[in-house]
Amino acid sequence: MRSYFQRFNFFAFSILVFLVSSCTNLDNKQVNSPVSTQQGSTATPQVSPQNQQESEIKLLNDEAVNILQQGQFKEALQKLEKGLEISQDKGERFWEAVTLNNIGRLYQKQANYSQALQSYQQALFINREIGDRVQLGKTYSNIGYLFDIQNQPELAIFFYKHCLINREIARLNPAVLSAPQPDAYNVTVAQTYRILGEKLLKQGRVVEAQRSMDLLKVEELEGFLKDVPGNQRTAKGIEIAPGEKALKQQLEQTGNNAVELGKELTKLRKIAPEQRSPAQKQRIEQLVLDQQKLLEQFNNFIASPAVKTQLEQLSVTAKRQSLDLASINELRDNLARLSQKSILIYPLVLDDNLELVVVSPESVPIHRKVAVTREQLNQTIATFRQQLQTPERNDTVIKTANQLYNWLIKPIENEIKASGATNLMYAPDDQLRYIPLAALHDGKQWLVERFSVNYITAASLTNFNTPPASSLRVLAGAFTKGNYQVEVGNQRLAFSGLPFAGQEVEGLAATIPGTQKLIDEAFSPKATIPQMDDYSIVHFATHAAFVVGKPEDSFILFGNGDRVNLRDVANWSLTNVDLVVLSACETGLGGKLGNGEEILGFGYQMQKTGARATIASLWSVDDGGTQALMSAFYALLSPGKLTKAEALRQAQIALIHADSKVKNKNVPIATSSGLSHPYYWAPFILIGNGL
């Protein structure tokens, strides 16, 4: 086995150089899912000899990975060597690359970093050869991780970025991303994006970090929903910094020479040793010597003081060049064209701290590091959610709301003030998705009293400036009576009709004449879904649930007892719909919180239907609070003078001050006082285009 590595050592390393420098040369090629990937799945009705070989290689890899985790290095290597031998003999290039990646992981665990890199390099060459963007990106991630644990952050960033670049190109054909994937990688792709964002922020490379954080949300959607397509904005990947471009040019010079030698060497090695002529044997020896010379030149280059200095200066040059990045300029231009002065806030939740990235139209992106651990933050989020749903006292919830304000808003107050923003565009991360930003408190007032809040899934998936519908035409459905049992995973949940839902819809119809009403049995998927795209607003006063787990577990319950799950929603066509309102949603059923992918996924699925925005609730308000808020919202929206985000904000303020002298004369609050607790007004969030 060792002789195999020695034979390919110099060749593989040179190929790595070429692959890094020329990864963008694949951009115009069609991305196809490798046949071997799909055949590697466990369920095959008929087993051909080829499938038997692949299954054997897969089994050897799975067994090796399992015993490797138990520290049985020798036994794991034996299995991997056997898998490698079979894959080479049978020409199973996909599985050869998988096995080489796992051999790299084994050597890495033994701190044999040179051998680990060598294995990864060979896998990289094969992935490039077969045109597999998905596996190529993951192998880049393995190499980035290898440099990461050796405390070489600049090189780690460089390779992590190539993982992202290849992944985003592959996303243009999302079917390849959802194919079965082998266990051959140090971290998941989503973790790679998160690590990359963290490392870029540590170096002050905020523009690149923002891009990584934005695409992280797209990758999280892929992990939850599958088949999430990319677009022209996501396919741009992430910029190669000026300092990295200079390094890339040097790598390309070495790689171009190495690949020509490699092609000839590969061709010669296909000839069985006993059949090679003396001239062919001599040529192989010469090619290996030439590769050694190329490797020596490369090693001298990479170890030179000039290159080391250049790598160390990357953070400085990246800061200076931030204005040249097309993606951030496009984002800032979109923000500048919004009717409300807006600022974009990206939190990134890390184990040891919270990072805040802020993008405004007038200045370069900035970031602030907040000293709070993931554990502290999640505990506070759980406490806050419990307090928000217990509307007895305001003082306890205000204290927690103020703590969260001090973590999420106070560190960037100066930037918000300098921008003149009245609207906060918010792309929450992890469990922050379970709490409403509007309910934070600065010690004097709720955040909603100062700003409107517009949630987005990801900037690269959002059209900020699509104009709203010119007239309001409403389709309103309500579940008012009856009881239905719903099975969610291993839970069986009971849902009853909402007494105020009928009043909610009647109030809406009174505010917007011509509203089409569907109540109870008439409010069925069969009757409702076909006509939704005839209206500019679709309003459902019924139960909906965002459930941790699979997309099929999250659902909307119709008035006749039928339900539509999150996967089904993607098949709706709502290209004419400006707003979808679900007024009685729930998250965290049974007290279980995940990372909020189900909320992110809901926003994306609605966006995918063509609807410009969605209003949903993070918990279900069981009394007249929802009716009061919706009455206020539509009264403010119907004249057409306010954006959806601002109408929601003013409706929420109307409930806060319903029992005080501070009232909006345009808002009819036909309810009793006592709705000032955030339990009643805070759960409602607007996702998407807030215009």
Higher pLDDT, 682 or 293: 682
What pLDDT band is residue 19 in, cutting at 50, 70 and 90?
very low
Share of the chain above pLDDT 70, in %: 83
pLDDT at residue number 591: 76
Q: Give pLDDT tens digits for 606-626.
A: 999 999 999 999 998 866 889
Cβ proximity of 675 and 655 under 8 Å: yes
Beta strands 537-546 and 579-587, pairing class: parallel
Rounded mean pLDDT, 2-19? 42
Rounded mean pLDDT, 416-424? 95
Please tell me the distance from the alpha carbon of residue 420 to that of residue 406, in angstroms, as a whole number.
20
Collapsed DSSP state (helix, strand, coil) of residue 455: strand
Question: Residue 319: is its pLDDT beyond 70?
Answer: no
Structure tokens at 223: 């992990």
Q: Which of 201-210, 282-291, 637-646 has the lowest mean pLDDT?
A: 282-291
What pLDDT band is residue 45 in, cutting at 50, 70 and 90?
very low
Higher pLDDT, 25 or 656: 656
- Compute how many other C-beta atoms are within 10 angstroms of the C-beta atom of residue 404: 23
Please tell me the distance from the alpha carbon of residue 242 to that of residue 227, in angstroms, as a whole number.
33
pLDDT at residue number 17: 44
Q: Give pLDDT tens digits for 29-42.
A: 434 434 333 333 33
- Compute how many other C-beta atoms are within 10 angstroms of the C-beta atom of residue 575: 10
What pLDDT band is residue 517 in, cutting at 50, 70 and 90?
very high
- Compute how many other C-beta atoms are within 10 angstroms of the C-beta atom of residue 591: 8
Please tell me the distance from the alpha carbon of residue 630 to that of residue 430, in angstroms, as a whole number.
28
Rounded mean pLDDT, 651-680? 70
Question: Residue 267: is its pLDDT beyond 60?
Answer: yes
Q: Give pLDDT tens digits for 67-119.
A: 999 999 999 999 999 999 888 777 788 998 999 999 999 999 999 998 898 88
What pLDDT band is residue 218 in, cutting at 50, 70 and 90?
very high
What pLDDT band is residue 332 in, cutting at 50, 70 and 90?
confident
Share of the chain above pLDDT 90, in %: 61
Please tell me the distance from the alpha carbon of residue 56 to that of residue 142, in angstroms, as a whole number.
24
Cβ proximity of 527 and 518 under 8 Å: yes
Contacts of 317 (CB under 8 A, 6+ apart): 241, 242, 243
Question: Residue 562: is its pLDDT beyond 50?
Answer: yes
Please tell me the distance from the alpha carbon of residue 518 to that of residue 527, in angstroms, as a whole number.
9
Question: Residue 25: is its pLDDT beyond 50?
Answer: no
Cβ proximity of 144 and 199 under 8 Å: no
* Residue for token pair 């954080």: 213
Please measure the distance between the N-terminal and C-terminal CA atoms of the chain and give it in whole angstroms. 63
pLDDT at residue number 18: 42
Could you tell me which of 460, 455, 463 has the C-alpha nearest to residue 575? 463
Q: How far from chain centre, in Å, is Cα 643?
A: 27
Cβ proximity of 222 and 177 under 8 Å: yes
Could you tell me which of 340, 449, 345 has the C-alpha nearest to residue 401? 449
Higher pLDDT, 311 or 356: 356
Would you mind telling me the total number of residues written for the chain in this entry?
691
Contacts of 646 (CB under 8 A, 6+ apart): 340, 423, 452, 636, 690
Rounded mean pLDDT, 519-542? 97
Beta strands 537-546 and 555-557, pairing class: antiparallel
pLDDT at residue number 544: 94
Distances (CA, A) of 662 to 646, 655, 676: 17, 10, 12
Q: Is the pTM of this model over 0.75?
A: yes
Collapsed DSSP state (helix, strand, coil) of residue 512: coil
Question: Residue 125: is its pLDDT beyond 50?
Answer: yes
Cβ proximity of 562 and 599 under 8 Å: no
Rounded mean pLDDT, 315-343? 74
pLDDT at residue number 463: 87
What pLDDT band is residue 264 in, cutting at 50, 70 and 90?
confident
Q: Give pLDDT tens digits for 359-370.
A: 999 888 899 999
Question: Residue 271: is its pLDDT beyond 90?
Answer: no
- Compute how many other C-beta atoms are within 10 angstroms of the C-beta atom of residue 398: 18
Q: How far from chain centre, in Å, is Cα 630?
A: 31
Phi/psi at 199 (nearest 5 deg)? -70, -40
Rounded mean pLDDT, 672-685? 87
One-letter amino acid at 505 equals V
pLDDT at residue number 89: 73
pLDDT at residue number 247: 66
Question: Residue 14: is its pLDDT beyond 70?
Answer: no
Task: Classify residue 446 by its DSSP letter.
Answer: B
pLDDT at residue number 12: 44
Question: Residue 460: is its pLDDT beyond 50?
Answer: yes
Please tell me the distance from the alpha carbon of residue 176 to that of residue 227, in angstroms, as a whole number.
8
pLDDT at residue number 594: 93
Q: Which of 342-351, 426-435, 565-574, 589-598 has the lowest mean pLDDT?
A: 589-598
Cβ proximity of 479 and 523 under 8 Å: yes
Question: Residue 382: is its pLDDT beyond 50?
Answer: yes
Cβ proximity of 127 and 136 under 8 Å: yes
pLDDT at residue number 296: 58
